[in-house]
């Protein structure tokens, strides 16, 4: 029987070092391989596996480390009372354009903010677009955004994040009052006509060929927010107008410190 557990990841050895004696683990494996525990007497075999780390047992011998810098001290430097600005909407609705414009506007006014649009190129590059991977993608983004909050920075996330349950989980993680759900709303036909990355065209072609790309709005659902803090209509307003709407909301609620 194969046990459901993993050993440590190995480095990049020469191919000839892969051999092992019966029942013993080889000393190294090519990068990307893991060992699966084998029953007693069986030969260890390297196998490339894909796993969702969510089911793996959490560490237990850990203690929360409390810092010695108060949030107010950081906020005096960054000039924001931070909240996660969570932009959600269909591909092509204008999330990324709004996030970049908003980041530029905040920083130019002396408020420290960061747009984390490229997280799939690094931290989350091992995730695909299945429902499970999408959920894990959002969970990791929520955890990173929470760290930015602790640092006194205004994190801006612009992700489709299609499922209400995942967005609700991110809200619970961050905390009520520090999570601002911003629905960047545009009809599917408008988003598809923009298609800045050619993704809708690819999705339609795959659909016509009887193949699925799990592309939101085409062959994967999008669940719009029911009670977002901000509901923006990007089909009838310019990026500059949308940025001003968000800035006004943040200023009215005291998130921009030292601003008039």
Sign of CA dihedral 12, 16, 18, 24: negative
Kindly report the number of other CB atoms within 10 A of residue 128's CB atom.
13
Instruction: Look up 161 and say whether it is catalytic.
Output: yes
64: Cβ contacts below 8 Å, ≥ 6 apart: none
The catalytic residue among 161, 193, 234, 238 is 161
Backbone φ, ψ for residue 110 (5° rounding): 90, 15
The SS3 assignment for 46 reads: strand
The SS3 assignment for 114 reads: strand
Backbone φ, ψ for residue 89 (5° rounding): 160, 175
Cβ atoms of residues 47 and 36 within 8 Å: yes
229: Cβ contacts below 8 Å, ≥ 6 apart: 180, 181, 182, 249
Residues in the chain: 260
Picking from 28, 148, 132, the residue whose alpha carbon sits closest to that of residue 84 is 148
149: Cβ contacts below 8 Å, ≥ 6 apart: 82, 83, 84, 155, 174, 178
By annotation, the residues acting in catalysis are: 161
């Amino acid at each position: 029987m194969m046990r459901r557990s993993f050993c440590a990841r190995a480095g990049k050895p020469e191919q000839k070092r892969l051999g092992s004696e019966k029942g013993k683990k080889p000393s190294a494996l090519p990068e990307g391989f893991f060992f699966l525990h084998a029953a007693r007497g069986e030969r260890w075999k390297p196998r490339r596996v894909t796993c969702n780390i969510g089911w793996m047992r959490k560490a237990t011998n850990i203690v929360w480390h409390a810092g010695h810098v108060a949030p107010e001290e950081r906020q005096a430097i960054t000039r924001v009372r931070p909240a996660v600005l969570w932009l959600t909407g269909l591909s092509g609705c204008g999330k990324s354009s709004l996030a970049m414009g908003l980041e530029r506007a905040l920083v130019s006014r002396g408020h420290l903010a960061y747009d984390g649009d490229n997280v799939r190129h690094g931290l989350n590059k091992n995730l695909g677009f299945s429902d499970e991977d999408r959920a894990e993608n959002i969970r990791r983004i929520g955890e990173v955004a929470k760290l930015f909050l602790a640092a006194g920075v205004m994190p801006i996330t612009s992700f489709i994040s299609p499922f209400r349950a995942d967005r609700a989980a991110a809200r619970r993680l961050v905390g009520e009052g520090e999570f601002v759900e911003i629905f960047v709303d545009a009809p599917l036909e408008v988003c598809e006509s923009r298609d800045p990355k050619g993704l809708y065209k690819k999705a339609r072609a795959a659909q016509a060929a009887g193949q699925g790309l799990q592309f939101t709005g085409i062959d994967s659902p999008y669940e719009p927010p029911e009670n977002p803090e901000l509901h923006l209509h990007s089909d009838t307003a310019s990026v500059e107008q949308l940025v001003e709407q968000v800035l006004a909301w943040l200023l009215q609620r005291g998130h921009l410190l030292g601003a008039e």
